[in-house]
Structure 1
Amino acid sequence: MVESTVPEADASSSAVRLRGVTKTYDSGVMALGPLDLDVKRGEFVSLLGPSGCGKSTALRIIAGLAAPSIGTVELAHHDTERRGSHRIGFVFQEPTLMPWATVRDNVRLPLKLARAPVADAEMRIGAALDQVGLAEFARAYPRELSGGMKMRVSLARALVTDPDILLMDEPFAALDEITRFRLNNDLLSLWRDLHKTVIFVTHSVFESVYLSERVIVMTARPGRIGAEFRITSTEPRGEEFRTSAEYAAFCREVSRALAPSYAGQAGA
C-alpha cells in the first residue's frame, strides 16, 4: 500500500539529515526550502518534482557543491579505515567524459585526483567496470560508446571511490525508453548488492516509483516537501512489478500528489 506520511528517522540511522535548508540566490529568487529531509543508511529515495523546484539544488547542497543560505546539512560518518573512500559519489545529468581518454582513464580520474596508490586504483577501476558491465570496453573511447554506455562509465566513475552515498541527478533522462528501463534494472541490482544510500532526482513518476523505497514529491519553487510515499513491493523488482496493477496504483497516487506542483506553470 502507499503511505503518504513517513515517520522521522532516528538520527543514528540517518545517512543524510537536512534541517531548515533554504537556498536564495543573489537575484533574490528563493529556489529551495525550507527543507527538512532524513534519508536512512542504505535507503533508495527519489526526489520528484517539476523543473525549477530545487531538486538538483538540494542534491548539490548535500554534495557540498553549493552552500545553503540557511539551515544545516549532516552526513553520517564513513569508515575512516577505508583507504581512499569518499563519503559521496555524484552522477550528473550528462556523462561529462573526457573525449581524449579511454573508459578506463575516465573512471580513473577521481582516484588520480585523490592520489590513490596505483595498485589499489587498478583494482578499484576493474571492479567498478565489472559492476556496470563495461569490463570489455575499458580501452574504448567515449566516441565509440552509445548514450547508455557513456552513462555507465559515469556511474562507474562515481562508484570507483566506494562512496557511502550515491547522488544521481536525472542520469537517464536523455536515454531512449528501452535503454532507460535496462539501466533502471541494473541500478537496482547494484543498489541491492552494494548497499549504498541513493538519492535520485527525476521528473518521471514511473521511474521514481519503480526504483525507490520512498518517493518525495516536491512543490513548485521554492521547493519543499509536498508529500512522501513509501513504495512497498515484492523484491527484487523487475518487469513483473513494472506491469503490475500494484505499480500502476502507486503511479496514480504519486501523480495525484504531483499535480498541484504543475498547476499554473507556463508550458506545463
Structure 2
Amino acid sequence: MSDSTAGAAVSEASLPADVAVRFREAAKIYDNGVQALAALDLDIRRGEFVSLLGPSGCGKSTALRLIAGLSRPSSGTVQVAGRPVAAGGRAIGFVFQEPTLMPWASVLDNVRLPLRLARMARADADSRARDALARVGLADFADVYPRELSGGMKMRVSLARALVTDPDILLMDEPFAALDEITRFRLNNDLMALWRSLRKTVVFVTHSVFESVYLSQRVVVMTPRPGRVSAEFRVVAPEPRLEAFRTSASYAAQCREVSAALARASGEGTT
C-alpha cells in the first residue's frame, strides 16, 4: 500500500475544543508490507505532555510522522487541531533523534531556517531566532558553528529551531537518547521548564521508562509492531516538577508500574 494513501477524511470541526490530536482506528502499512500501526486510538489534549513508550519498531515514530503530516494513515483517521500555516498544514515543531544541523551555517542561521523558508523579513526572523536561542540557554552562541558545540548544545539548537515558529504542537522523537546521563537529566529539566512556560502540546517518543515518568503528564504504552495502545498512565507528581521528584518513592513506584505494563505489552513473562 502506497505511503500516499490517505485514510478517511474527518473535519477538524468535529474535534472537541480541548483535543489537539485524535487517532481513530489509525493504521499504517508501508510500501514494503511492514505494518507499523494497527487500529491506534488515542486522544492528546491541548497543552498536555504525553510520552509514547514502547519497544523499537512499535510505530512510535510513525505516529509522530502522521501527526506532522509527513505520512498518511493507510486506514482510519488522524485529526490535528491548531492554527493553519501558509503551506496548508498545522503549526507543528519537530525535534528529530539527530540534530540535523547545517554544518556550514551558524547557530543563528540554523534556527532561522524555518522563518527564511516562510519568507519572513530578515530583521523579524533574526529577532525571533535570537529569542528562541535565549529560551534554550544559547543566547551567547548565535554566531558559532555546529562543530564547536557539544551534543547537548546541538540538541538545544534543534529545539530552538522547532520553537522558532511558535508551534501549537511540539513533536520530539527520542531527542536525548544519544546523550550522556548528566546531559540528558539537565535537558529533561530544561524541557520541563520550557513546557511550563509555553504550555505547548508535547508528544515525546522514548524507550526510557524513567524519562517518560519524569517528563510526562501521561505515559502511553504501546505494543510491539503493529503498534497500538496497550495501557495509559496518569503521572502523579508535584508541580513544578523538580529534581527531587526523580529520587522520590512516588517516582520509583510509578516507574515500576509503567515498567510492568511495558513488559506485559511486550509479552515478557508470558507463555
Mapping of 1:170-189 within 5 angstroms? Answer: 170-189=174-193
Distance in 1 (CA, whole Å) between partners of 2:80 and 2:266 is 31
Deviations 1:94-116 (A, max 9, x none): 00000000000000110111111
Instruction: Give the equivalent residue in structure 1 for 2:17.
Output: 12
Let me know the Cα RMSD of the aligned residues: 1.7
Instruction: Give the equivalent residue in structure 2 for 1:262.
Output: 266
Mapping of 1:68-147 within 5 angstroms? Answer: 68-78=73-83, 87-147=91-151
- SS at structure 1 position matched to 2:158: helix
Distance in 1 (CA, whole Å) between partners of 2:205 and 2:82 is 23
Q: Does 1:41 align with 2:41?
A: no
CA contact (8 A) 1:87 1:163 kept: yes
Distance in 2 (CA, whole Å) between partners of 1:44 and 1:254 is 16
Percent of residue pairs bearing the same amino acid type = 72
- SS at structure 2 position matched to 1:73: strand
Distance in 2 (CA, whole Å) between partners of 1:118 and 1:140 is 19
State the aligned residue count.
253
CA contact (8 A) 1:231 1:250 kept: yes
- SS at structure 1 position matched to 2:25: strand
CA positional deviation for 1:136: 0.3
- SS at structure 2 position matched to 1:11: coil
Instruction: Give the equivalent residue in structure 2 for 1:240.
Output: 244
Deviations 1:186-236 (A, max 9, x none): 000000001100000000000000000000000011000000000011111
Distance in 2 (CA, whole Å) between partners of 1:167 and 1:104 is 21
Distance in 2 (CA, whole Å) between partners of 1:153 and 1:25 is 32
CA contact (8 A) 1:166 1:196 kept: yes
The two structures have a TM-score, normalised by structure 2, of 0.90
CA contact (8 A) 1:108 1:125 kept: yes
In structure 2, give the amino acid aligned to 1:254: V
Instruction: Give the equivalent residue in structure 1 for 2:7.
Output: none
CA positional deviation for 1:26: 2.0
Deviations 1:81-133 (A, max 9, x none): x9xx9610000000000000000000011011111122221121111000000
CA positional deviation for 1:151: 0.1
Distance in 2 (CA, whole Å) between partners of 1:50 and 1:261 is 9
CA contact (8 A) 2:46 2:200 kept: yes
Deviations 1:16-36 (A, max 9, x none): 111111001222221102101
Distance in 2 (CA, whole Å) between partners of 1:202 and 1:57 is 13
Large movers: runs of 4+ above 3 Å: 261-264
Deviations 1:146-166 (A, max 9, x none): 000000000000000000000
Instruction: Give the equivalent residue in structure 2 for 1:4.
Output: none
CA contact (8 A) 2:26 2:73 kept: yes
